[in-house]
Chain A
Amino acid sequence: MIYLDNSATTQPYDEVIAAFKKTAFDYFANPSSLHRKGGEVERLVRQARRSIASLLGVEEEEVIFTSGGTESNNLAIKGTAFEHMKRGKHLITSQTEHASSMESFRQLEKMGFDVTYLPVDGEGQVSKDDLVEALTKDTILVSLLHVNNEVGSIQPINELGSIIKEKSRALFHVDDVQGVGKVASDVHSVADLVSYSAHKFHGLKGSGLLVKRKNVSLFPLLSGGGQENEFRSGTENVPGIVSTAKALRLYMQKSQSNVKKLNDLKIKYIEKLEEIKEVVMNTPTKSAPHIINFSVPGIKPEVLIHALEEKDIYVSTRSACSSRTAEPSHVLTALGVSNSRASAAIRVSLSYETTEQELDVFLLELTKAIHKLKEVMR
């Protein structure tokens, strides 16, 4: 199997699954229970939290465990909107967000909030001037995706973050689900809220976290027993939390020594792909080291994907979360890509495990498939 859909989800590490299993088996007590078993599990959760906090360079109490990236984004966006609506009802985001952010903003609009969707340039970046212009005294939140999940473009969050701090009282939320361990940034010093998802770094689905800067208040979306410092009630998903800590540690180790190698690999295969004359590159020059997005105009991407899967090679059309709609990708459209190209896009996403041999096979099979399909369609 050649798995090149790592932006949709990654294969969990063996150690992660082992930690999940052992925790589910041995540490099943409720961490809120007063007895010794509960205390033991509480301690385990605390240590997992500490380990994650230190890997991310934040404080323990700033980590809120959630069910994943979607919940983290919903909590950050709606939680801020509901908590601070008395101060203002204006929100800012971009036109190229992940569905979980985009739809949160759409819902808030229906509830009477005013949302500015900043356009992006061909590199996928919002302009500083647009941002400055959009910020008003009613702006309570700016939410941006650090690394775009479809094309790999990078939002300059350090600079944008300092502008937000300088010019307004708005909170800054960054969706760093695709960026963690891949694109270095000072996200925790510029942002007040940062979303993560475990299954994007070889953890398991159903686990994620929101890092919330101390002293920032949020309206909880889930109320109940007051877990996670009152911000997210519900009995802790202990095996999920523990396996997330394990995954993040192993992943960060790999990231430290391999991020440059991965980027070189990406550049090399972007160049090789561009040698195929039917291929048009959609990924901008400055981009994350693991995402390559291109179009083969004239060939339906579904057809290519199924042709490749015959060879046990797995790539995708676009964000897995939006792939059920037939519309051209809103991200590519926002980047100024024509409709015909935007609806013919293929996304190849790498991991630290991806090898050159795998990419060579992919390239070969892609070329063959394109030629075969072109003959059929002629």
Chain B
Amino acid sequence: MYDHIIVRYGEIALKGKNRKGFINSLKKRVKKVTSEFENIIVTQSFDRMVIKLNGQDPEPILVKLKTVFGIHKLSVAVKAELDLEDIKEKSLTLMRNQQTEGIKTFKVTVKRPNKQFPHRSQDMNREIGGYVLRNTENLTVDVHHPDRELRVEVKNDGAFISCDHSEGAGGLPTNQDNKVMLMLSGGIDSPVAGYLTMKRGVKIEAVHFHSPPFTSERSRQKVEDLTRVLARYGGDIRLHIVPFTNTQKTIHNEMPDNYSMTIMRRMMMRITERIAEQTGALAITTGESLGQVASQTIQSMNTINEVTNYPVLRPLISMDKVDIMNISREINTYDISIRPYEDCCTVFLPEAPKTRPKREHANKFEQYLPIDELVEEAVSGVETIVIKENEDDFADLL
């Protein structure tokens, strides 16, 4: 029945001078995620985008559009001629269809940006509402808490009638020039941090520390799979796999047990900063939230943060674990994150890590660590792979 999808921008419609750039990158993204649907046509205006379905089922397209940052609201709509009779008729068909889903109350809201159209909004409200009421049973008007709001928007090229609205992903469309390096462990938190960073219009690359044979191919696979889920939201992502075995072994052998974790994280931070520098990323994102486990106390954060002067973004900083888990389920990273493989943080986990490490102690111990050599070795061994949003391995088989 529906022949159009209306995409509303929300926040970006407010951004004065940059609006054009935002809308262009949004349109690019919308075209990209809907490229498999060959028949549809996407057009844009200053406050919204309209997708003409040409017979295509809207459901799978909506699923894709819900991954696009910068989209505020999505509605499926029927387009009517600029003719009150046609509008009434199509409104009726739409409401009858809604009745099969058990809708009992409705209200009509008419907007008429096209002032050439000879009927005033208020009159049309009454006309359309009355027509629907006269021609249906068991349906009443409730202007305060309707089961469905029937919205009619009279534009220059026709009237769009809709009553099925859903939330978009929100946020801002991706700006390819704003790049941030995400430290991606494979746990529940870091993919969520990556998602929230991307949501603010930022392009991410990911860095993962891999310590074979202590961490397996599967833990690396897990990170690739997580990256691929993130790529559904922001497009292809470059993933940097850092060989970390030697650094971990050296720390394990040379550093005091209770500081090994703090120093390991300082090393990770140093290496990440170097990779960020090379790739042009301007900040580092981590999945830390405050006070959760040993490494995430404010003392730890202070000590670890000392080694970089890049901005460290911590989108989860104030969140409770349950909230993080909820987002992780929503964005489909949860099931991957809970796959039970060792990662580099758990393999050498000391029995009693220091929960309140101090900068001066860390610095003192690190005098005995060949920091530059280890960083150099790790950075030069980085393997960078591009994780495509549409995976194509095994394509011949499936």
B217 within 8 Å of A (CB atoms)? yes
Task: Select the stretch in A43-51, A204-212, A261-269, A350-358 that faces chain B.
Answer: A43-51
Check A34 against B218 for contact (C-beta < 8 Å): yes
Check A61 against B221 for contact (C-beta < 8 Å): no
Which residues from 144 to 199 on chain A have a C-beta closer than 8 Å to any C-beta of chain B?
Answer: 162
Chain A neighbourhood of B397, CB < 8 A: 19, 22-23, 44, 48, 242, 245-246
Instruction: Number of A interface residues at 8 Å Cβ cutoff, please give it.
Output: 20
A86 within 8 Å of B (CB atoms)? no
Q: How many whole Å from B96's CB to the nearest CB in chain A?
A: 15
Chain A neighbourhood of B391, CB < 8 A: 47
Check B217 against A245 for contact (C-beta < 8 Å): no
Chain A neighbourhood of B59, CB < 8 A: 57
B216 within 8 Å of A (CB atoms)? yes
B322 within 8 Å of A (CB atoms)? no
Chain A neighbourhood of B218, CB < 8 A: 34, 39, 42
Give the complex CA separation of A51 and B397 in angstroms: 11
A36 within 8 Å of B (CB atoms)? yes
Check A57 against B217 for contact (C-beta < 8 Å): no
Which residue of chain B is the closest to A35 with respect to CB atoms? Answer: B217
Instruction: Number of B interface residues at 8 Å Cβ cutoff, please give it.
Output: 14
Check B221 against A249 for contact (C-beta < 8 Å): no
Check A39 against B398 for contact (C-beta < 8 Å): no
Which residues from 111 to 146 on chain A have a C-beta closer than 8 Å to any C-beta of chain B?
Answer: none
Q: How many whole Å from A213's CB to the nearest CB in chain B?
A: 16
Q: How many whole Å from A158's CB to the nearest CB in chain B?
A: 9
Give the complex CA separation of A61 and B336 in angstroms: 11
Check B335 against A51 for contact (C-beta < 8 Å): no
Give the complex CA separation of A60 and B391 in angstroms: 15
Contact partner of A242 (CB less than 8 A), chosen from B102, B393, B398, is B398
Check A48 against B398 for contact (C-beta < 8 Å): yes
B interface secondary structure, majority: loop
Which residues from 357 to 398 on chain B have a C-beta closer than 8 Å to any C-beta of chain A?
Answer: 391, 393-394, 396-398
Which residue of chain B is the closest to A61 with respect to CB atoms? Answer: B335
Contact partner of A249 (CB less than 8 A), chosen from B102, B394, B398, is B398
Give the complex CA separation of A162 and B100 in angstroms: 10
Which residue of chain A is the closest to B224 with respect to CB atoms? Answer: A43
Chain B neighbourhood of A42, CB < 8 A: 218
Give per-residue flags for A233-270: 1 if the beta carbon is below 8 A from chain B beta carbons, else 0: 00000000010011001000000000000000000000
Which residue of chain B is the closest to A54 with respect to CB atoms? Answer: B60
Check A57 against B60 for contact (C-beta < 8 Å): yes
Chain B neighbourhood of A61, CB < 8 A: 335
Max chain A Cβ within 10 angstroms of own Cβ: one of B59, B218, B391, B393: B218
Chain B neighbourhood of A19, CB < 8 A: 396-398
Q: How many whole Å from B210's CB to the nearest CB in chain A?
A: 14
Check B335 against A44 for contact (C-beta < 8 Å): no
Q: How many whole Å from B286's CB to the nearest CB in chain A?
A: 27
Which residue of chain A is the closest to B397 with respect to CB atoms? Answer: A19
Give the complex CA separation of A305 and B218 in angstroms: 55
Give the complex CA separation of A242 and B218 in angstroms: 20
Q: How many whole Å from B131's CB to the nearest CB in chain A?
A: 27
Give the complex CA separation of A132 and B393 in angstroms: 49
Give the complex CA separation of A245 and B397 in angstroms: 9
Give the complex CA separation of A145 and B102 in angstroms: 25
Chain B neighbourhood of A22, CB < 8 A: 396-397
Q: How many whole Å from A320's CB to the nearest CB in chain B?
A: 29
Give per-residue flags for A39-83: 1 if the beta carbon is below 8 A from chain B beta carbons, else 0: 100111001100100000100110000000000000000000000
Check A39 against B221 for contact (C-beta < 8 Å): yes
Q: How many whole Å from A89's CB to the nearest CB in chain B?
A: 30
Give the complex CA separation of A60 and B397 in angstroms: 18
Give the complex CA separation of A22 and B395 in angstroms: 13
Give the complex CA separation of A56 and B60 in angstroms: 11
Give the complex CA separation of A145 and B393 in angstroms: 37
Q: How many whole Å from B1's CB to the nearest CB in chain A?
A: 13
Which residues from 21 to 64 on chain B have a C-beta closer than 8 Å to any C-beta of chain A?
Answer: 59-60
- Across the A-B interface, give the 3 residue pairs with the lowest CB-CB distance, nearest first: A245-B398, A19-B397, A36-B217
Q: List 7 A-B contacts (CB under 8 A).
A: A36-B217, A44-B394, A47-B394, A47-B398, A51-B398, A57-B59, A246-B397
Given A36-B217, A39-B216, A245-B397, 19 additional A-B pairs, CB 8 A? A19-B396, A19-B398, A22-B396, A22-B397, A34-B218, A39-B218, A39-B221, A43-B221, A47-B391, A47-B393, A47-B394, A47-B398, A48-B394, A48-B398, A57-B59, A57-B60, A61-B335, A162-B102, A246-B398
